[in-house]
Amino acid sequence: MSKHQQLLRPQRVVGSPQSVVHRLRSVQPTLGVPPLDLAAVSSDETVQEILRNTLRSAYGVIGAQGGFVLLLTDDSVLEIATLHRVSNNDVLDSLFGWSAAGLHRALLDGARGLAGAEGQLLDEQQSEEPAVFLALPLDIDETRRGALCLLRKPDARPLKALDLEILDALAGQAALALAAGCQRYALSQLQAQLQAYDLAEF
């Protein structure tokens, strides 16, 4: 199995919450950094609104027909944060199909991944061929990264340097929204732990 296949193998996020009653009857809970639930973060209404608006803005810049945002953690958990005007098959193609090289470049190398109509990686400095798939890296934090992915029609115009600069700025906006969502989730979980700890002392 290749390095890419190992890193991009989706795994299910499983949680095992305990009730407050169980905490009261057991040993006092140990405070610590709670595990991050990617699904909870990506479903945050504020995060979703920003991601959807970011995708719509990107459509207007380069004439994309759809897009989605993927998240990847160091323990190989892959999460679809949001998708808009694309099918599940489009997402699977980006992971394992014709456009996989572009997504792998964004997720694993932290660089823009532009793919042509045949799935080949394009040199953004030299290629005159239009990119029909774009993956922009999202630097969220030390353990989480992602990609903002856009799909275009084969007859789309070639991209210019200014297009890419604007897309980078939009990707940065999406990364900030996701990072803020992670922080809000971690804070809410820590507050819940503190409340449970206080209850356990009675």
Would you call 38 helix, strand, or coil by DSSP? helix
CATH code assigned at 60: 3.30.450.40
In-domain check, residue 124: yes
Question: Whole-model pTM?
Answer: 0.74
pLDDT tens-digit readout, 126-153: 778 999 999 999 999 888 899 999 999 9
Model pLDDT, residue 30: 42
In-domain check, residue 99: yes
Structural domain for 161, as ranges = 33-200
* 52-74 core/surface letters (b: 16 or more CB in 10 A; e: else): eebbeebbebbbbebbbbbbbbe
pLDDT tens-digit readout, 157-187: 999 999 999 999 999 999 999 998 888 877 7
In-domain check, residue 78: yes
CA 106 from centroid of its chain's CA atoms: 11
Number of domains the chain is built from:
1
CB 92 within 8 A of CB 117: no
